[in-house]
Chains A and B, each alone.
Chain A
Amino acid sequence: DTGVSQNPRHKITKRGQNVTFRCDPISEHNRLYWYRQTLGQGPEFLTYFQNEAQLEKSRLLSDRFSAERPKGSFSTLEIQRTEQGDSAMYLCASSLERLGTQYFGPGTRLLVL
């Protein structure tokens, strides 16, 4: 059990560029969650998957945000046409079952210039 991993850990980009973050959950965890955390705030739930199915996406912040989990293992979160307001920490978590404990990764810190 190596824990949830996220890559990259840091990303600096210019406004208008697209960025993609990757999350590798704990192996055999079928649920995967994405959150955003801005400075001084708690994490904000964005979306989640059960295996490859995205079961909730209404909380994604805008249509510039999208997430995939094509084979039910790793997931990617993409932000298109980044804005300065997208600067935040993006956290991924996984759980073994629907009501299981969510284990968080270290996050990807995004800075949009």
Chain B
Amino acid sequence: AQSVTQLGSHVSVSEGALVLLRCNYSSSVPPYLFWYVQYPNQGLQLLLKYTTGATLVKGINGFEAEFKKSETSFHLTKPSAHMSDAAEYFCAVRPGGGADGLTFGKGTHLIIQP
């Protein structure tokens, strides 16, 4: 069975500062990994995903994440936070060859301080 742990239910950063949202996973087979963002009263929007190949993945809105197999991590970063980045962020995993349902973490609420 797979699981996802997101460290920090709330993360607060100043506008212009580095954003780092942590995600660790467990999976019995090579995983596919995802980051989704959810704005209030909206569905989830895909930021980026890792399937195979290059371990540094670039996504939309300046976000990127690096798959580190040895650390079972897939942390999300953005060099400079914008006020519009304030939202809920979810990390998710799906075993590469298994059932198609995603397993999500509990989410991290990103707060941007002016």
With A41-B106, A42-B106, A104-B43 already in contact, the answer to whether A31 and B100 are too (CB < 8 A) is yes
A48 close to B106 (CB less than 8 A): no
Instruction: Give which listed residue, A43, A46, A105, contacts B90 with CB less than 8 A.
Output: A43
B101 close to A40 (CB less than 8 A): no
B49 close to A56 (CB less than 8 A): no
A34 to B78, CA, bound (A): 30
> In the complex, which residues 20-59 of chain A have their Cβ closer than 8 Å to any Cβ of chain B?
31, 33, 35, 40-46, 48, 55-56, 59
B51 close to A104 (CB less than 8 A): no
Tell me which of A11-19, A61-69, A71-79, A94-102 binds B. Answer: A94-102
CB distance from B48 to the nearest CB of A (A): 10
A45 to B49, CA, bound (A): 18
**Neighbouring B residues of A46 by C-beta, 8 Å:** 101
With A104-B43, A105-B43 already in contact, the answer to whether A43 and B102 are too (CB < 8 A) is yes
A46 to B103, CA, bound (A): 11
Kindly list the 3 A-B residue pairs having the minimum CB-CB distance in the complex, ordered from nearest. A42-B104, A45-B101, A104-B43
